Amino acid sequence: MIDKIKKYKKLELWIFAVLGMGVIYPTPISNDRFGQPFLNVLINSLLVLTLFYFIEVRHLVKIRFIDYFFGLIFSILYNFTSLFIADEKPYTIMGTYYLHGIGNILITILAILGWTITFAGALALCSFGCQKYSNYSEKAFFKFKSVFLVILISWSLVIVFFLPGQVSWDALKQFCEFEGKRVANLEFTYIPTNHNPWFVTLIIGNIFNVGNKLLNPNFGVFLVILFQTLISAFIYTKVVQFVGQKSGKIMGIISLVIFASPIFSSYAVTIDKSTLYYAFCAAFYLCYVKIIVGVKNKHKALHTNDYLLYLLTMLLFSQFRNDALYISIISTLILLVFLVYKHMNITRLLFVLLAFVAIICSWKAYMQKNNIISGASSEALTIPTRQISYVYLNSPSDLTKKDKQIINKITPLNEIKKNYDINSGDNLKNLFPVNTFLNNPSIIKDVVHGEKKIRSNLKIKNDLRNYLKVWLKMGIKHPFTYIKVYIAANSFYLNPFVCSPNLYGSLFINFPTRVPYYVEPSWVDKYNYLFKDSVRLKAREFIGLILSFPLIAFFLNTATATWLLIYLLYRSIKIKSLDLFIILVPLIGLVALSTLVPINGYSRYVIGEIAIVLIAFACMFSAERINIKK
């Protein structure tokens, strides 16, 4: 028996991996670094034994340098998010403890190396599995009508309990802006803003008005729900068909289960910009991918209609979320370069890009002419604000008197400590001199009394530029601190093993039934649900049970898309597929965008990634087949 064990030369390596996986980062801080629960130890050991069997005993695959390199990336994400999770004090980060002292440093290195070995083995084995799975021929497994009906029927089982439909807080505010609602006891009148895209406000406002004039507010709400449900279901059906055709029946069924689940139906029954944003995200990505597939398969020539559809989806995608504009432009520019590299005609795509820029510029001119207020800059600066505020709270001596005066103009220094939260930037965001969020009565009062502005001016813009200069200066001085804050603020987006407390609560199935008085549209008294609160509560509990199913819970995890993206990047390099790498560009943009949002682990920021990562995987399996044939 001993002789048999000795012949496995790398046995010590796998034992080392088990030891490294046993390291923990307890909260609150503790000297006990090897206190893993028995179940975790058992699962880790079984995982390593499985890898050992297939790699060392069966010799199915060899672990190569690229496997170790990406294994290290996964290990760093896993360990450093655990290192930098916030301690009890909201403005401290515990990573300082676990990276100080020779003992702690050695144990942390052991954990990083142990997980690197495990992830490297898992990557090598998954690569083998992908190659085996990819022996599918392209075939249309799913008929449009069948998939469309399955999604609609599945969604209706959720939608029916929340009829005529739910209205999110953002949408309530949009309705107030659309009608110019006057809040008497705050002496405030809503004016149009682009905080939530004004384009979306016009759509939901006008559709609601049609239903309201025909019958009543309930029918107006239902009409919006019906509109977004039919469009979303249509787009997701197309995605399921594409996934099934490119990667086989199993992946097609998985995608159908995900799209038919409450992950998407809970949004379909809720009026909110996100509902159609996710659908247009998938539509844009599908059109983007089809252009690349058309370039790769020259015998399947692309038609002008394909480019016009790409332009349409690009516009809708960028207009349903303000930041999506940058993703669509960057993706199209890279696609343009790709076509040049492939010696393909770029005339039509160049026309699409120029037409897109012209339409966006025209829309911005329209908003300016009609005094539509732009969203506040604070929306895009929640990570920088937390970084520089962290430096102020923990290393105030590194800031000059002038630096502090500059910071004070944007985020009052005496307010930073009580408003700092590593996992949420909303409170710090509300300290900015310009605020279009208006998420509580006190901020509205500040706007009414002139203490805050709803529209930026030259002085505020200049103060903000100086603020960013101080932020950059402190970043050069404290680069590791900035990295710590960034990782800690995004721990739930970077590590799927850390369960976000917002995982289910951030879906609209838990949206409150009572409407805050300061975002009540004029018709709210006539708006009521079909079923009682008790019935809807039971429905929510049942939906929560469905969301806990392993497959659905896996995709709902706020870090899943990030890790799947890294895996796809790994495969694109390993199989040397430039096409696959270019296909991943919009997904890279969306994942990067989700790490700049104000709330850590808020699932609504990653649903768009879930909607397109399945398309990316389908493209990977297609690329795998081409690689195998070579």
| Residues 396-417: tens digit of each pLDDT | 999 999 999 999 999 999 999 9
Q: 599 has which bridge partners?
A: 424
What pLDDT is recorded for position 298? 62
What pLDDT is recorded for position 137? 52
| pLDDT classification of 302: cutoffs 50, 70, 90 | confident
**DSSP conformation letters of 303-348:** PHHHHHHHHHHHHHHHHSSTTHHHHHHHHHHHHHHHHHHTT---HH
Query: Any residues with CB less than 8 A from the CB of 97 and at least 6 apart, and which?
Result: 29, 104
Mean pLDDT to the nearest integer, 186-206: 96
Look over the chain and give the mean of its residue pLDDT values, rounded to a whole number: 89
Mean pLDDT to the nearest integer, 155-171: 94
Q: What are phi and psi of 453, to 5 degrees?
A: -105, 150
Mean pLDDT to the nearest integer, 63-78: 96
Q: How far apart are CA 160 and CA 155, in angstroms?
A: 9
Residue 88 clears pLDDT 70, i.e. is over it: no
Burial class of residue 339, CB neighbours in 10 A (0-12, 13-18, 19+): buried
What pLDDT is recorded for position 585? 97
Q: How far apart are CA 167 and CA 163, in angstroms?
A: 11
Locate 506 and state its tokens.
Answer: 């951030």
Count other C-beta atoms under 10 Å from residue 433's C-beta: 20
Q: How far apart are CA 210 and CA 204, in angstroms?
A: 10
pLDDT in tens, 252-292: 999 999 999 999 999 999 999 999 999 999 999 999 999 99
Distance, CA of 247 to chain centre: 24
What pLDDT is recorded for position 630? 42
Residue 9 clears pLDDT 60, i.e. is over it: no
Q: How far is CA 461 from CA 65, 455, 548, in A?
A: 49, 11, 46
Q: What is the dihedral of CA 413, 415, 418, 420, to 10 degrees?
A: -60
What pLDDT is recorded for position 370? 94
Locate 253 and state its tokens.
Answer: 């069924």
User: What whole-number percentage of the chain has pLDDT above 90?
Assistant: 71
Cβ 172 vs Cβ 511: under 8 Å: no
What pLDDT is recorded for position 439? 87
CA angle 92-93-98, nearest 5°?
135
Mean pLDDT to the nearest integer, 170-197: 95
Q: Higher-confidence residue: 474 or 498?
A: 474
Burial class of residue 508, CB neighbours in 10 A (0-12, 13-18, 19+): buried
Report the sign of the C-alpha dihedral through residues 55, 57, 59, 65, in that order. Answer: positive
Q: Which of 11-25, 404-418, 532-546 has the highest mean predicted lDDT (pLDDT)?
A: 404-418
What pLDDT is recorded for position 629? 45
What pLDDT is recorded for position 97? 78
Residue 211 clears pLDDT 90, i.e. is over it: yes
Residue bearing tokens 């976000």: 500
What pLDDT is recorded for position 379? 82
Residue 517 clears pLDDT 60, i.e. is over it: yes
| pLDDT classification of 533: cutoffs 50, 70, 90 | confident
Mean pLDDT to the nearest integer, 238-256: 91
What pLDDT is recorded for position 583? 96
User: What whole-number percentage of the chain has pLDDT above 70?
Assistant: 91
The b-or-e profile of 549-584 (16+ CB within 10 A means b, else e) is eeebbebbbbbbbbbbbbbbbbbbebbebebbbbbb
| pLDDT classification of 86: cutoffs 50, 70, 90 | low
Residue 357 clears pLDDT 80, i.e. is over it: yes
What pLDDT is recorded for position 129? 83
| pLDDT classification of 35: cutoffs 50, 70, 90 | confident
Residue 508 clears pLDDT 90, i.e. is over it: no
Q: How far apart are CA 161 and CA 543, in angstroms?
A: 11
Q: How far apart are CA 284 and CA 290, in angstroms?
A: 10
